[in-house]
Amino acid sequence: MSTTGTPANTELVFLPLGGIGEIGLNAYLYGIGPADDRQWLMIDCGITFPDDTEPGVDIVLPDLRFIEEERKSLAGILITHAHEDHIGAVAEMWPRLRAPVYVTKFAAHLLKSKLQEHSHAAEVPIIEMAQGSRFKIGQFDVDLVTVSHSIPESNSVFLRTPAGNVLHTGDWKFDDTPGFGDPTDEAKLARLGDEGVRVLVCDSTNALVEGKSATEAAVGENLKAVIARAKGRIAITTFASNVNRLTAIAEAARAAGRELVLVGRAMHRIVMAARDTGLWPEHLTYFDQDSFASIPRDKVAALVTGSQGEVLAALARIAKGEHPLVKFDRGDSIVFSSRTIPGNEDGVIRIQNQLAERGISIVTEAPDGPIHASGHPRKGELTRLYRLARPHYLLPMHGEPRHLEAHASFAEAHGIMAVRGVRDGRMFHLGPSDPHLIDADVPIGRLYRDGNLILKSGDPAIVQRRRLSWNGHIAVSVVLQRNGEFAAEPEIGVNGVPMSDAEGLDMGERALSAVYNAVESIPRSRRKDRELIRDAVRRSIRAEMKLVWGKKPVCSVLVSIL
């Protein structure tokens, strides 16, 4: 690709702060200009959800320290679509960035709703843009490309720069019959290919999967057949953000003579956003969950949140029989019209087992064909994109290492040079010369929303909770007289520790014995040293527990001297 006319010090760089080497937490930076005077554009600012090593955490946010320090050079935040892993961190992180946010109408509606929970809602400059539009964000010439995905108004982003053009796909697929909304704009992709795509920064989620994704139209027809065959109540759980899927289910319920009931806050929020932005057909009526009990059993079709096994979602409460308004029993059916995200398998299986125990039928497949379609491209669709865009280089994003490496190898097999080794926190030169890693010190990590607070990943609270979840806790209060004698029997509090050892001896008594042994091993003349006693007691209890249990609990010791 020619770089004639490019200023000698103009450089295009790419820096992911989240979303590469993982699925979720998408936050990508593009920089243009010399190393000491770059302007930055952020594409997406999303969240992910905690795993079992992050107990008590509500959501995980990207660590944006790098761009916080450079925020005067941040031209804007461009959101490709409204999924939480792409837009979910904007409301929380905007005060640290204070840049204008560019979104389409549907995403703007959801973002404004989320911002109402924050005191800075009125300060955020939200700039609505149309799909397929071209505009400037600072020095960046931005051209949006309409793409199909599992949420309305999804976009790829074409960046024209003096150092070369980049096509950043966002999340996408090819779906010629997506339901509402336009399919992926292949004609525009071909025109951009003619213009020249230096680097394709591309979704890798399904790079290990052969073939082509199912269409939403086909899924809708199959769900229609499933709902028509149902005898008792039927519920469908799916991603609430997939408006095409929701409207297809609503049409199927209407065709079967059933009343659609929305169960779960996310369902209500998305349907309201779809109605307000003209994406929900007026003839598709629905009821709130308050009306569930008044609808005849064979006339119920419920849309329920919780397809990923979320413990606080509506489906989990239904599975345990604890939902205050919605009850399913033997003879009723629950349809899982969703793919289980890696890492959520245990939660989904737990809920399915609970439903089975209650005699509720579980539908994960149908004889008519697929009842879920991924929103991400398989190998057949990647090949189709390569032919249209004809990139010189492929930079795989949005995936775990196994997805990224598979995508790189697949692109190379099609004659495209792959940029390997891209991970969060690694800055890459994209142009005008060959892509390569830049030796730059970029802080990277995760932030945790913990209640009302934002914590760093190394915060002692998270580390201690992790240890508590594995090893339990023993609290000890020791009161000594000034002569070194015990003023009273030590008090022991045991939490998360087995009640007794293998011989049936009480663990609290074992801990109490360890306290006496520790204190009595210290000469009386030195028993005025609280820190010495505290350390001796803690080490003695942990050693005793290790001996009889095989684990060392967290141990808190309070020492008082009268």
| Beta partners for residue 417, in sequence order | 393
Over residues 174-218, the pLDDT tens digits come to 999 887 778 999 999 999 999 999 999 999 999 999 999 999 999
**pLDDT at 6 > cutoff 80:** no
Question: What does the pLDDT read at residue 211?
Answer: 96
Over residues 92-130, the pLDDT tens digits come to 999 999 999 999 999 999 999 999 999 999 999 999 999
Contact 150, 375 (CB under 8 A): yes
Round the average pLDDT of the chain to a whole number and report it. 94
Residue with tokens 């979602």: 313
Domains of the chain (ranges; CATH) run 12-211+374-456 (3.60.15.10), 216-363 (3.40.50.10710), 472-561 (3.10.20.580)
For residues 507 and 127, what is the distance between their CA atoms, to the nearest angstrom?
Answer: 62
- Mean pLDDT on 241-265: 96
3-class DSSP assignment, residue 48: strand
Question: What does the pLDDT read at residue 5?
Answer: 47
Question: What does the pLDDT read at residue 221?
Answer: 95
With cut-offs at 50, 70 and 90, classify the pLDDT of residue 4: very low
Antiparallel, parallel or unpaired: β 74-78 and 39-43: parallel
Burial zone of 217 (CB within 10 Å; 0-12 exposed, 13-18 middle, 19+ buried): middle
Q: What is the pTM of this model?
A: 0.89
With cut-offs at 50, 70 and 90, classify the pLDDT of residue 311: confident
Contact 248, 256 (CB under 8 A): no
For residues 131 and 511, what is the distance between their CA atoms, to the nearest angstrom?
Answer: 66
Q: What is the DSSP string of 390-401?
A: --SEEEEESB-H
Over residues 471-515, the pLDDT tens digits come to 999 999 999 999 999 999 999 999 999 999 999 999 999 999 999
For residues 166 and 30, what is the distance between their CA atoms, to the nearest angstrom?
Answer: 10
Contact 469, 55 (CB under 8 A): yes
Backbone φ and ψ for 173, nearest 5 degrees, come out as: -165, 175
Cβ neighbours, 10 Å, residue 449? 17
